[in-house]
Amino acid sequence: MPTMSLTHFEATMLFALVISVVLGVTGRNTDRERLIYGLRCFGYFVATVFGLGWLMYLGHG
């Protein structure tokens, strides 16, 4: 069986991508709203990843 080894960044981006797709598809009623909502969710995920990443980096001293 093939195995994968991803970095933190790759894994979180993949995670954000698939979850944003599902939230977009299930969360709104029209295709346009779904696209916008999915992109917004992805943006929030990315911003959170970078924000928490910097917070941990700075907090680590």
Partner 1 sequence: MNAPFHVSYQHGTTYRRATAARLEEMSKAPKKKKEPMPPIRLWGHVVALAWIIPGGGHFLQKRNGRGAILAGAVTLTFLLGIFMRGTMFEPKTADLLTTIIHVGGFLGDAASGILYFLATWLGYDQIDLSGLSHDYGTKFLVAAGLMNVLAMVDAFEIAVGRKT
Binding residues for partner 1, per CB under 8 A?
Answer: 1-8, 11, 14-15, 18-19, 21-23, 25-26, 29
Rounded-to-integer distance, Cα 32 and Cα 14, Å: 23
Rounded-to-integer distance, Cα 51 and Cα 24, Å: 23
CB of 4 to partner 1, least distance (A): 4
Give the nearer residue to partner 1 in terms of CB position, either 1 or 58: 1
Give the nearer residue to partner 1 in terms of CB position, either 5 or 61: 5
Q: Which helix (H) or strand (E) holds 29?
A: none
